[in-house]
Amino acid sequence: MALVAPSGPLRDSDLQLAIDSVRSFQWEPVVGAHVREHDGYLAGSDANRLADFNRFAADDGIDAIWCIRGGYGAMRLLNDLDYDALARRPRILIGYSDITALHAALNIRTRTIAYHGPTARTVLTDFTRASLRAAVVDGTNPCGAAAQASTLHGGSARGRLAGGNLALVAALMGTPFEISLDGAILVLEDVNESVYRIDRMFTQLRLAGALDRLAGIAFGHFSEIPDDETNADRSLDDVLQEVADRAKVPCLARIPLGHIDDQWTIPLGAMAELNADMKTLVVES
């Protein structure tokens, strides 16, 4: 299991936490040469972060790449990833938040599944560990019933799982790595965004026509919303309900997805069935 830092810089304990996470699955950690570097808000230069990723993409001894953390910076690498190596021998790629950029690029350029799951520095709960194992080891359904979710629009739908972090999905619009949502079950999460910013990103997607032909929607958690006066008169629930009403497709809110302790690992690009009435998401094996 290769460990890379394609986005933000690591904190003091992050690398050891990542190594411990890998070993807890009885996997052998192989650490990128540049993961300890720091260049402002980036984990080293673009060239060095790219070198780590592409080294492991081309190494036939590496079966999976686990991103140590998110932050910002993965988008800066997309043009120069070694897609030929990744298509020749697909690797499991695990991470979330900023790693959505890498997931999108792999889905588009190599037609392989990428795993929206915990970063390697995450202290894994039993729930999160079980879902990750189901997704990347057992190849079984890593999702299931979302008992705490709420139904925004009823019905059931089958489609390809797509999405990830809302800010990255919106930022990729108009680029060669724009995520196609036609016929997809859209899964989205985000963190530390005011409601008006979440509204703006959804409006961007709507104006771009990206939400016109969805099969279904499964919103995760939009956590750590800043406590400011702009959020007083219009709630996150209002915004999500508006998106669901406009889309008119089966829609759940608050599935176990996002910057939360208990989270599903979701194989982006895989087929799944969403039942908004039963509050379930079942990934096809």
**Average pLDDT of the segment spanning 76-97:** 97
Domains of the chain and CATH, by start: 2-124 (3.40.50.10740), 144-283 (3.50.30.60)
pLDDT value, residue 228:
81
Percent of the chain whose pLDDT exceeds 90: 96
User: What distance in Å separates the CA atoms of residue 42 and residue 51, rounded to the nearest whole number?
Assistant: 14
Name which of 62, 60, 32 is nearest 47 in CA terms: 32
Q: What is the DSSP string of 212-262?
A: TT-SEEEEEEEE-----GGGSSS-HHHHHHHHHHHHTS-EEE--S-SSSSS
Q: Residue 28 burial by CB count (10 A; 0-12/13-18/19+): exposed, middle or buried? A: exposed
The tokens for 110 are 């190599």
pLDDT value, residue 285:
81
Cα distances from 22 to residues 64, 73, 81, 151, in angstroms, run 11, 23, 24, 36
Distance of CA 205 to the CA centre of its chain: 17
Planar angle of CA 272, 102, 41, nearest 5 degrees: 135
User: What distance in Å separates the CA atoms of residue 265 and residue 155, rounded to the nearest whole number?
Assistant: 23
pLDDT-derived band at 105 (thresholds 50, 70, 90) equals very high
Planar angle of CA 188, 191, 193, nearest 5 degrees: 105
pLDDT-derived band at 132 (thresholds 50, 70, 90) equals very high
Q: 14-23 burial, b for 16+ CB within 10 Å, e for fewer?
A: bbebbbebbe
Instruction: Report the chain's C-alpha Rg in angstroms.
Output: 18
CB 51 within 8 A of CB 58: no
pLDDT value, residue 162:
98
Give the pLDDT confidence of 136-151 residue by residue, as tens digits. 999 999 999 999 999 9
Task: Count Cα neighbours of 34 within 13 Å in the Cβ-side half-sphere.
Answer: 21
Give the pLDDT confidence of 149-193 residue by residue, as tens digits. 999 999 999 999 999 999 999 999 999 999 999 999 999 999 999
**Average pLDDT of the segment spanning 116-125:** 97
Task: Count Cα neighbours of 260 within 13 Å in the Cβ-side half-sphere.
Answer: 17
Name which of 57, 58, 53, 21 is nearest 35 in CA terms: 53
pLDDT value, residue 146:
98
pLDDT value, residue 233:
80
Tell me phi and psi for residue 253, to 5 degrees: -125, 145
- Catalytic (active-site) positions: 97, 189, 259
In eight-state DSSP terms, residue 197 is H
**Average pLDDT of the segment spanning 77-100:** 97
Give the pLDDT confidence of 182-237 residue by residue, as tens digits. 999 999 999 999 999 999 999 999 999 999 999 999 999 999 998 887 777 889 99
